[in-house]
Amino acid sequence: MSLATRCPDCGTAFRVQSVQLAAKGGKVRCGKCAAVFDGVSNLIEQADPDPAALEPSPQLPLFEPEREPAEPVGFLKEEPPPPRRRLAWALAALAASAALALQALLYWRTEVAVLFPDARASLAAACATLGCELRLPRRPELMSIESSDLQSDGRRDGVIVLNAVIRNRAPFAQEYPALELTLTDERDQAVLRRVLIPAEYLREAAAERLPQGVAAGAEAVLRVHFDTSGLRAVGYRLYLFFP
Give the pLDDT mean for 112-119: 74
Report how far residue 50's alpha carbon sits from residue 46's, in angstroms, rounded to the nearest whole number: 9
Q: For residue 1, what pLDDT is reported?
A: 53
pLDDT digit string (tens) for 40-78? 888 886 655 455 455 555 444 444 434 444 444 744 455
Q: What is the pTM of this model?
A: 0.51
List the strands of the sheet with 13-15, edge to edge.
13-15, 2-6, 43-46
Which helix (DSSP H) or strand (DSSP E) does residue 151 occupy? strand 143-152
Most confident of 6-10, 114-118, 217-221: 217-221
pLDDT tier at 108 (50, 70, 90 boundaries)? low
Contacts by 191-195, CB closer than 8 A, 24 or more apart? 191/231, 191/232, 191/233, 192/226, 192/228, 192/231, 192/233, 194/226
d(CA 38, CA 209): 88
Mean pLDDT of the chain: 79
For residue 89, report the phi and psi dihedrals to the nearest 5 degrees: -65, -40
Task: Identify the pLDDT of residue 2.
Answer: 62
Domain residues of the chain, as ranges? 2-74, 83-130, 140-241
Architecture of the 140-241 domain? Sandwich (2.60)
Checking if the pLDDT of 128 tops 90, the result is no
What pLDDT is stored for residue 87 in this prediction?
Answer: 80
